[in-house]
Amino acid sequence: MSIEIKEVRTRRQLRKFVNFPEKLYKDNPYYVPPLVFDQMDTLDQKKGAAQEFCDSKLYLAYKDGELAGRVAAIVNHLANKQWDHKEVRFGWYDFIDDPEVARALMDKVEEFGRQYGMESVVGPLGFTDFDPEGLLVEGFDRLSTMALIYNHPYYVKYIEDMGFTKDADWIEFKMEIPEKLPDRIDRICNIIQERNNVHLRQITRRIVREEDYGHKIFKAINECYKNLYNFTVLPDHMAEKYLDFYLSILDLRYISVVENDKNELVAFGISMPSIVRALQKSRGKLFPFGWWWVLRSLFWKREEGVELLLVGVLPEYQNSGINSLIQADMFRKYAEFGVKWAETNAILETNTKNQGQFKDYNPECKKRRRSYIKPLEY
């Protein structure tokens, strides 16, 4: 048995890198493929927005001539500077059920990290927090969400056998949507708005365009998340790369914002109808017919669930009840749209404030994912 590691250097190799999970999870009903074009752009060293402040290499593993795994080795110089550490990240880490393949790929990540003088290896993480992160360690029998990673259970053993230990955990909740919110929640929301001199606002495409609302939300994301685990505060000019496209295709009714009396954005909640079944049917490809399944789930014949992608409140407005105001507005809309359930994005297990905002909706913890770390040996 021979294992060969090849660096991705061509567009053809990049496509093999992106498409490898399609083969690995071919018969797995819980795996949800990402949008292929988005992955190609993210990982392309000429197009990827994060290449401005990251150095990276992509590797493919071959066993006996057959494609057997992949990994991205990433040094995010901006995050390392902001957090004052020297970490090399591993991401897009997938491999067949073979510890030797897993080890050979990780050896390349460690080798890459040593070239830049890094002191530890951490992951799975992407270039930035807009990329999938965290290894699934609980919830393997649950359908994945669009924004997060699914992986086989054997990943956990092989990674831990290499000496990696827990660095951070995220948890995910699923909630049933009530047909009507209790009256007391409406009363509480009115009090919160009056007390803080804030108001809810429904944004439209005209508002997004004329008020450059994508940049407003982008700045708010940086401010709200800057102290959370390994978050990379991104330059303002990258808003177009990360948010403008998605704001152009999302149903804006699934976005809630709160503004103060100066019409300044102070809180936001971004969600979208679940498109996981559409992604499974289209295998993550928009062409030739995948676009129809995706648009159908987004606008025409929605699934019963929604994904809560991002919720944030500016630091100066935290602990004022505005989190509850955002959640109530979103859940009220879901009830109007006939949504049956909502599933959160990954929430840090230490972020009890964020978890607490769902207490009125009987949240069930369905999945757990983990970021691992180990010292880099020289």
Please give the helix or strand (H or E) that residue 375 lies within, else none: strand 364-375
- Residue 184, amino acid: R
Specify whether domain 3-167 bears CATH 3.20.20.70: no
Per-residue model confidence as pLDDT tens digits over 43-68: 988 877 788 899 999 999 999 999 99
Same topology, domains 3-167 and 175-370? Answer is yes
Instruction: State percent of the chain over pLDDT 70.
Output: 91
* pTM score of the predicted model: 0.90
Q: Where are the alpha helices (DSSP H) in 25-98?
A: 36-43, 77-83
Where does the pLDDT of residue 287 fall: very low under 50, low under 70, confident under 90, or very high at 90 and above? low
What are the boundaries of each domain within the chain?
Answer: 3-167, 175-370
Q: What are the phi and psi torsion angles at 9 (to 5°)? A: -125, -20
- pLDDT higher than threshold 70 for residue 327: yes
Q: What integer pLDDT is reported at residue 366 of this predicted model?
A: 82
Residues above pLDDT 90, as percent of the chain? 52
Q: Above 70 in pLDDT, residue 282?
A: no
Produce one character per residue of 333-358: b if its CB has 16 or more CB atoms within 10 Å, e if not. bbeeeebebbbbbbbbeeeeebbebb
pLDDT for residue 275 is more than 80 = no
Distance of alpha carbon 287 from alpha carbon 297, whole angstroms: 16
Distance CA 56, CA 75 (A): 6
Residue of 361, 331, 340, 343 lying closest to 173 (CA atoms)? 343
* Rounded CA separation 176/332 (Å): 12
pLDDT for res 71: 98
What's the pLDDT at 103?
98
Band (260; pLDDT cuts 50, 70, 90): very high
Which residues fall within 8 angstroms of residue 238, CB to CB, at 6 or more apart? 49, 52, 218
CATH class in words for 175-370: alpha beta
Distance in angstroms (rounded) separating the CA atoms of residues 32 and 13: 22
Structural contact between residues 374 and 106, judged by C-beta atoms closer than 8 angstroms: no
Q: Does residue 273 have a cis peptide bond before it, meaning omega lies within 30 degrees of 0? A: no
Ranges 35-44, 184-193, 299-308, 317-326: which has the least confidence? 299-308
User: In angstroms, how far is the first alpha carbon of the chain from the final one?
Assistant: 28
Residue 362, pLDDT score: 78
Q: Three-class SS of residue 149?
A: coil
pLDDT at residue 289, rounded to an integer:
52
